[in-house]
Structure 1
């Protein structure tokens, strides 16, 4: 297990409604706010998968 396996991440939401992961021990960058969820990278990705709605049109 390396340090990335133990790293804590925070789920952030941009002013444009985009989701992103950011190291939980760093200050939140401008234009972003916390989504109120922290955990492993895997847990944060799962959180985003269940809370983010992809609004892009389906292209055929």
Structure 2
């Protein structure tokens, strides 16, 4: 929505998966702030820059640095 005037914060969970959450609402359990907040589009751009590997952390750890099952 282009006219969305809501401010959001970027949040991350234990699996290092990112999302946005309205700043006027309590962050859901299991998620924490990253320190970045602003308009929706800026938050989504930030996530696109920092979340370069979409796999959950547990999968990345299980597969190792070469992406092969250990």
Q: TM-score, normalised by structure 1?
A: 0.79
Unaligned residue ranges in structure 2 (runs of 5+) = 56-66
Considering only CA atoms, is the larger Rg found in Structure 1 or Structure 2? 2
Task: Specify the alignment match of 1:47 in structure 2.
Answer: 46
Number of corresponding residues = 55
Unaligned residue ranges in structure 1 (runs of 5+) = none
Show CA shifts across 1:4-57 (max 9, x none).
Answer: 521001100011110001111111110000010111110000110111122547
CA distance in 2, matches of 1:55, 1:32: 17
Q: Which runs of 4+ in 1 moved over 3 A?
A: none
